[in-house]
Amino acid sequence: MHKKTTLYAQHQKLGAKMVPFAGWEMPVSYPAGILAEHTAVRTSAGLFDVGHMGLIKIEGEDSLPFLQKVATNDASKLEANECQYAVLCNEAGGAIDDVLVYRLPMFYLIVCNASNMDKVIAWLKKQSQSFHSLAAGPYENYCMLSIQGPKAVGIVEKVLTVSLADLRHNHTLWWRDIILSRTGYTGEDGIEMIVAKKEVVKVWQSFLSAGVQPCGLGARDTLRLEAGLPLYGHEYDEQTSPLEVGYGWAVKFDKGDFVGREALLKQNENGVVKKLAGLEIEGRAIARQGDEVLGIGKVTSGTYSPTLKRPIAMAFITSDHAQLGNQVLVKIRENLAPAQVVAKSFYKR
């Protein structure tokens, strides 16, 4: 049995195509189609149900030292109502998950990937045994919505009658019972909302009434890929480190000890063997996860980019072949497609 988000019935009413994803029943697209949804986010705004994401509350006096131990980034640098990207690593430096860590006035909040929620909670509980004043568990009565696109902030201001002029990137604002966060996963400006489950249908409908296009997992994937953003299970796994993915900036070696620090330090000193790279592929064939980059690596994600109007992919390739402009061959089905190594962020707003 797959879990359902609080908005499941709303998606059915809208005629969404539902698919199983990370243990959840999720909308992959609505009748307008993935292209229309993608374009709405790039030109105006799109609304996503991200109620499948894991929300984990960390509270107690030991919250900060605990976060410093389990996450790669430096949570002591967070102001109140600010968040940061971090990776939870195993001892070998591989990613258990990549997360956002929020410092809220009363507690810390971790937003993790849907597919990893149970694993992350179990791992956090194991790591918390030496901390006495600490509670870590699901933030159960809340779920997430995301509105993304160049007009998203203005729409949120209008629909919720709230001023967001002073809300900086990676900062949050409490509005009534909603935590508004200037974050996203599309390469656009936008607002992610942490909403009480009992209110979320009303909030969802108020954005639809304002004419915002609902968007599913299909557009979420093409958008994040154009922006070069990693997805757990594709670019990240327990054998892959944040340094290999290109997120070394989220690993703070000078903050003291944390799980995986030694392995990452060694990798940092010796240099990574594989690197995540962007590929622009000639022709019309689309590379998919697992396709071989001839002799030097494997594709992690691939799609047709609606914005660039060409096939793009991300791939792990050997570091000595990862320089920009390098020409490679990708084996797509039985054919070899020429491709060029480019920056992972194919799209910049």
Question: Residues 137-153: what's their mean pLDDT?
Answer: 97
Q: With a cut of 90, say whether residue 298 has pLDDT above it.
A: yes
DSSP assignment of 204-249, as one string?
HHHHHHTTPEEE-HHHHHHHHHHTT---BTTTB-TT--HHHHT-GG
Question: Residues 271-286: what's their mean pLDDT?
Answer: 97
DSSP state of 128: G
Task: Tell me the percentage of the chain whose pLDDT exceeds 90.
Answer: 99
Question: Residues 266-295: what's their mean pLDDT?
Answer: 98
What's the pLDDT score for residue 263? 98
Half-sphere exposure of 156 (CA within 13 A, CB side): 28
pLDDT tens digits for 25-79? 999 999 999 999 999 999 999 999 999 999 999 999 999 999 999 999 999 999 9
Average pLDDT, the chain: 97
Q: Which of 222, 212, 221 is nearest to 191 (CA)?
A: 212
Instruction: Give the C-alpha distances (Å, rounded to integers) separating 218 from 194, 195, 236, 294, 340.
Output: 22, 23, 19, 28, 25
Half-sphere exposure of 303 (CA within 13 A, CB side): 21
Task: Tell me the percentage of the chain whose pLDDT exceeds 70.
Answer: 100
What's the pLDDT score for residue 145? 98
Q: How confident is the model at residue 1 (pLDDT cuts 50, 70, 90)?
A: confident
Question: Residues 79-92: what's their mean pLDDT?
Answer: 98
* CA atoms of 263 and 90, how far apart (whole Å): 9
Fold of 271-344: Elongation Factor Tu (Ef-tu); domain 3 (2.40.30)
3-state secondary structure of 300: strand
pLDDT tens digits for 121-139? 999 999 999 999 999 999 9
Question: Residues 301-310: what's their mean pLDDT?
Answer: 97
Contacts of 42 (CB under 8 A, 6+ apart): 149, 150, 188, 223, 306, 307
Does the domain at residues 3-52+140-226 carry the CATH identifier 3.30.1360.120? yes
Neighbours of 18 (CB within 10 A): 18
Half-sphere exposure of 334 (CA within 13 A, CB side): 0
Instruction: Give the C-alpha distances (Å, rounded to integers) separating 17 from 1, 5, 28, 109, 210.
Output: 18, 15, 6, 31, 22
What's the pLDDT score for residue 314? 98
Half-sphere exposure of 218 (CA within 13 A, CB side): 21
Q: Where in the chain are all domains bearing CATH 3.30.1360.120?
A: 3-52+140-226
Q: Which residues pair with 316 in a beta bridge?
A: 276, 298
Q: Which of 206, 113, 222 is nearest to 157 (CA)?
A: 206
What's the pLDDT score for residue 333? 95
Q: With a cut of 90, say whether residue 313 has pLDDT above it.
A: yes
Nearest 5°: CA angle at 197, between 157 and 174? 40
Q: With a cut of 90, say whether residue 82 has pLDDT above it.
A: yes
Q: Where in the chain are all domains bearing CATH 2.40.30.110?
A: 271-344
What's the pLDDT score for residue 90? 98
